């Protein structure tokens, strides 16, 4: 039976996300990113189109490698200024019933005790529609903003992340039993103290002794997203992630990454139905092919590929401003940034003079101000391309990158969604339940085989290390 596609809108609480420069387009409304009504309207539009979620990226630092400082990013609006994605969730949840919200949070700089409470709060307020995109960070500017001279080395960031996850699992899953909340007005008892446990965590990076402040939320642990594509990142994702965002490396490259990831997940005992795979795509659709091409040309006139190079510089650790347009960028000069991007640049070797990629070639790969080759066509052409991508690579769905917003999502909903539905490849109504239930088809909580679920056993332990619970 053909699989129904999963679809997220891919956005960020900022003026310029991945299609750099398109905020300048006269129909683009991204400059309203500080307006709560803009986000509420976008959420309602996405729910009308039965989107599974709005996935919000984040970066808590500035892109300051290009030119040796933040000036280029500031001038072009390259993900700066940027606001907190988490605070948008209650406003959008209030005007929708089903749309999920995936928010990016950098665990390297989030105190786990407070972070766990914030996620529980958002899961409560959204009635179980929260997802967390787990990131470890890569920007030195972020590290300096938190009092560190530079970013921790790549693999150690994931070692620290494993310890962080072990801690927050205990808070979400093991601190409060399912029957801890009595809420009995007659007796005046709200909580049964004997069913609440103090978490004591002594890990290599984090130590904690505390009771989780929030009572259990609908999902307890938010649906877990992860986007690591390095060898160490894939091991982390294979252990923790329920939905994985794979970098778009073209049809063949993405298909190979799916196969590689399947092996890592199988080694962790994860069956194929226990996780979902998504990659990013960019779509420009018109009522017919000619209109789509005209729209694409119109968008491209406002795009700024040079701004995309500013972001790429920080992602790879390479200051591209130091290179002449046709000067080769040797693979051995690549830095310690996002490993999947570093690797893809290294694999580009051979296209430029002396077997190396050049700045001119990189700019040519960014026609709409980002490194994703857009799908341009009529509704039937776009629907066919999406299905070809899914069937050839093995992904379950896509994060649709915003171009001119919200126009790009309105066009997709009005023109492409009906074609996918007619082909039986997209839902015609939302499934009931939490975000986890909608995306995985399983229950609202982490499945029993997930490592985070092991923390639930702790609720059977005596509270507070055996100390008697005082009576009021």
Domains annotated on the chain, with CATH: 6-302+376-460 (3.20.20.30)
What whole-number distance in Å separates Cα of residue 180 and Cα of residue 191?
6
Contact 74, 81 (CB under 8 A): no
* Positive or negative torsion for Cα 441, 443, 449, 455: positive
CA 1 to chain CA mean position, Å: 28
Structure tokens belonging to residue 313: 């510089």
> Higher-confidence residue: 331 or 201?
201
If one counts every other C-beta atom within 10 angstroms of the C-beta of residue 273, the result is: 10
Instruction: At 200, give phi and psi (nearest 5°).
Output: -120, 110
Checking if the pLDDT of 351 tops 80, the result is: no
Nearby residues of 168 by Cβ (< 8 Å), 6 or more positions away: 112, 115, 116, 119, 221
What whole-number distance in Å separates Cα of residue 151 and Cα of residue 63?
14
187-229: pLDDT as tens digits: 999 999 999 999 999 999 999 999 999 999 999 999 999 987 7
Nearby residues of 258 by Cβ (< 8 Å), 6 or more positions away: 246, 277, 393, 394, 395
In this prediction, residue 334 has a pLDDT band, given cuts at 50, 70 and 90, of: low
Predicted confidence at residue 176, as pLDDT, reads 97
Contact 16, 62 (CB under 8 A): no
- The closest alpha carbon to 253, from 423, 394, 60, 106, belongs to 394
List the alpha helices (DSSP H) in 57-139. Answer: 71-76, 88-93, 112-125
Which whole number is the average pLDDT over 160-172? 97
Checking if the pLDDT of 149 tops 80, the result is: no
Which whole number is the average pLDDT over 284-301? 98
Helix (H, G, I), strand (E, B) or coil at 460: helix
CA 310 to chain CA mean position, Å: 21
Predicted confidence at residue 137, as pLDDT, reads 82
Share of the chain above pLDDT 70, in %: 91
Radius of gyration of the chain (CA): 23
Looking at every residue in the chain, the average pLDDT score rounds to 90
CA 258 to chain CA mean position, Å: 17
Predicted confidence at residue 470, as pLDDT, reads 41
75-106: pLDDT as tens digits: 999 999 999 999 999 999 999 999 999 999 99
Which whole number is the average pLDDT over 356-372? 91
Contact 302, 405 (CB under 8 A): no
Beta strand spans in 338-466 (E)? 357-358, 375-377, 397-401
Contact 412, 379 (CB under 8 A): no
Predicted confidence at residue 1, as pLDDT, reads 66
- The closest alpha carbon to 94, from 47, 132, 33, belongs to 47
CA 50 → CA 100, 199, 230, 380, distances in Å?
Answer: 10, 39, 32, 19
């Amino acid at each position: 039976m053909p699989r129904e596609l999963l679809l997220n809108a891919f956005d960020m609480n900022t003026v310029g996300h991945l299609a750099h420069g398109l905020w300048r387009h006269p129909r683009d409304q991204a400059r309203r990113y500080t307006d709560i009504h803009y986000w509420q309207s976008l959420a309602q539009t996405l729910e009308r189109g039965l989107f599974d979620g709005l996935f919000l990226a984040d970066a808590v630092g500035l892109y300051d490698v290009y030119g040796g400082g933040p000036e280029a990013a500031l001038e072009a609006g390259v993900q700066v200024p940027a606001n907190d994605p988490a605070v948008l969730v209650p406003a959008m949840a209030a005007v929708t019933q089903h749309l999920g919200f995936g928010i990016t949070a950098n665990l390297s700089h989030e105190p786990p005790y407070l972070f766990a409470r914030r996620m529980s709060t958002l899961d409560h307020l959204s009635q179980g529609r929260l997802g967390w995109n787990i990131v470890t960070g890569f920007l030195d500017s972020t590290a300096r903003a938190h009092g560190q001279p530079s970013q921790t080395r790549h693999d150690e960031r994931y070692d620290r992340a494993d310890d962080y996850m072990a801690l927050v699992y205990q808070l979400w899953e093991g601190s409060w039993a399912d029957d801890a909340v009595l809420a009995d007005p007659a007796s005046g008892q709200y909580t049964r103290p004997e069913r609440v446990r103090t978490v004591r965590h002594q890990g290599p990076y984090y130590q904690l002794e505390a009771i989780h402040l929030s009572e259990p939320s609908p999902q307890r642990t938010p649906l877990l997203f992860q986007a690591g594509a390095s060898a160490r990142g894939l091991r982390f994702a294979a252990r923790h992630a329920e939905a994985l965002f794979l970098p778009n490396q073209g049809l063949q490259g993405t298909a190979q990454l799916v196969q590689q990831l399947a092996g890592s997940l199988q080694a962790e005992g994860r069956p194929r139905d226990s996780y979902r795979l998504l990659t990013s795509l960019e779509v420009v659709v018109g009522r017919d092919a000619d209109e789509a091409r005209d729209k694409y040309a119109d968008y491209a006139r406002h795009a700024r590929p040079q701004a995309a190079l500013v972001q790429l510089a920080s992602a790879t650790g390479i200051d591209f401003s130091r290179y002449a347009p046709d000067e080769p960028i040797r693979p051995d000069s690549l830095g310690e940034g996002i490993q999947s991007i570093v690797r893809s640049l290294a694999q580009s070797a051979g296209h430029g003079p002396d077997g190396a990629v050049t700045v001119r070639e990189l700019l040519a790969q960014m026609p709409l101000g980002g490194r994703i080759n857009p799908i341009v066509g009529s509704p039937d052409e776009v629907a066919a391309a999406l299905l070809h991508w899914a069937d050839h690579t093995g992904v379950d769905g896509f994060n649709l990158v915003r171009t001119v917003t919200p126009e790009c999502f309105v066009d997709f909903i009005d023109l492409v969604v009906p074609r996918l539905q007619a082909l039986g490849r997209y839902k015609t109504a939302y499934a009931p339940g939490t975000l986890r239930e909608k995306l995985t088809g399983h229950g609202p909580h982490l499945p029993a085989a997930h490592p985070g679920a092991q923390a639930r056993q702790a609720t059977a332990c005596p509270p507070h290390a055996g100390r008697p619970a005082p009576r009021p």
